[in-house]
């Protein structure tokens, strides 16, 4: 049953969460994940302009090199679990509000029953793999094998309910949990932050990485080819 079916005339507030690992120069070069939030009800031409303050900083997730842990795999597991644990705490308030709703006043002064729902995550590819618990080099949206990414074939989408069932095994035998994660192509994270957020599909929430995938991953190479003297040359393209 959809939210609209059992909560008619409600107002959905799509929450847009974004993060990018950032170096904090005022803290002696340490790094952290700043967590920003915006809502889809704000027009895009306003939301995309930093000067209009449509993005709100809601928290920092600390990072650490964990120099006391010498095993790289164990170190990664600790860092990933720390990130998801902190994200769950940051977004904890939307768990109940998203399903039950809360009364809020809109910009026109009307009181509405609002349901804040985690809708999109915006980030670079490393943050996307961290959030979705997928492996580097794998598709975040579908089950295409890494060696077939360049082929024009259709593959089934990532199965969010199946991922939830896999992560519920974390409370049982740890060996069976790791085996299930390996079979599903997921990283063995203990309860990702999105596993209990209602009305959310983490794989659908991932947005295209316009900067790295389109501008630098496609347009940059096209322009490099076109401006080559053997093709058109920079003078002709600029003209």
- pLDDT tens over the chain, length 239 residues: 466 666 667 888 999 999 988 877 666 667 888 999 999 989 988 988 888 889 999 988 888 888 788 888 888 889 899 999 999 999 888 887 888 888 988 888 889 888 899 999 998 888 999 999 999 889 889 999 888 887 888 899 999 999 999 999 998 888 899 999 999 999 999 999 999 888 889 999 998 877 777 777 788 888 888 888 888 888 888 88
Contact between 33 and 60 under an 8 Å Cβ cutoff? The reply is: yes
DSSP for 175-206? Answer: HHHHHHHHHHTB---SS-TTTT-TT--HHHHB
Residue 174 belongs to some domain of the structure: no
In sequence order, the 6+-apart residues with CB closer than 8 A to the CB of 56 are 36, 37, 38
Residue 46 belongs to some domain of the structure: yes
Global pTM?
Answer: 0.81
Domain containing 93: what range?
3-139+194-207
Strand locations in 25-170, DSSP E? 30-39, 56-62, 102-105, 111-122
Same domain, 132 and 22: yes
User: For the chain, how many structural domains are there in total?
Assistant: 2
Same domain, 55 and 23: yes
In sequence order, the 6+-apart residues with CB closer than 8 A to the CB of 50 are none
Residue 119 belongs to some domain of the structure: yes
Same domain, 16 and 106: yes
Residue from 146, 142, 176, 138 nearest 160 by CA: 142
Same domain, 86 and 123: yes
Same domain, 11 and 45: yes
Same domain, 113 and 20: yes
Pairing of strands 22-24, 30-39: antiparallel
Radius of gyration of the chain (CA): 21
Residue 17 belongs to some domain of the structure: yes
Same domain, 126 and 220: no
Contact between 158 and 203 under an 8 Å Cβ cutoff? The reply is: yes
Q: Which residues pair with 33 in a beta bridge?
A: 61
Residue 145 belongs to some domain of the structure: no
Residue 26 belongs to some domain of the structure: yes
Same domain, 224 and 134: no
Residue 146 belongs to some domain of the structure: no
Residue 183 belongs to some domain of the structure: no
């Amino acid at each position: 049953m959809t939210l609209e079916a059992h909560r008619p005339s409600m107002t959905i507030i799509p929450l847009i969460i974004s993060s990018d690992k950032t170096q904090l120069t005022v803290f002696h070069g340490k790094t952290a994940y700043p967590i920003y939030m915006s809502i889809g009800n704000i027009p895009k031409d306003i939301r995309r302009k930093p000067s209009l303050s449509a993005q709100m900083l809601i928290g920092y997730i600390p990072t650490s090199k964990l120099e006391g842990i010498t095993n790289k795999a164990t170190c990664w597991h600790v860092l990933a679990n720390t990130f998801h644990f902190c994200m769950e705490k940051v977004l904890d308030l939307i768990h109940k509000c998203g399903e039950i709703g809360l009364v809020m006043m809109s910009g026109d002064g009307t009181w509405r029953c609002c349901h804040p729902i985690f809708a999109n995550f915006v980030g670079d590819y490393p943050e996307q793999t961290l959030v979705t618990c997928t492996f580097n080099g794998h598709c975040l949206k579908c089950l295409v094998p890494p060696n077939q990414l360049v082929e024009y074939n259709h593959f089934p989408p990532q199965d969010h309910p199946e991922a939830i069932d896999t992560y519920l095994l974390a409370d049982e035998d740890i060996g069976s949990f790791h085996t299930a994660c390996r079979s599903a192509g997921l990283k063995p994270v203990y309860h990702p932050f999105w596993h209990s957020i209602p009305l959310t599909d983490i794989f659908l929430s991932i947005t295209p990485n316009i900067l790295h995938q389109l501008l630098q991953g496609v347009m940059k190479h096209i322009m490099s080819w076109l401006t080559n003297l053997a093709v058109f040359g920079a003078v002709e393209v600029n003209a």
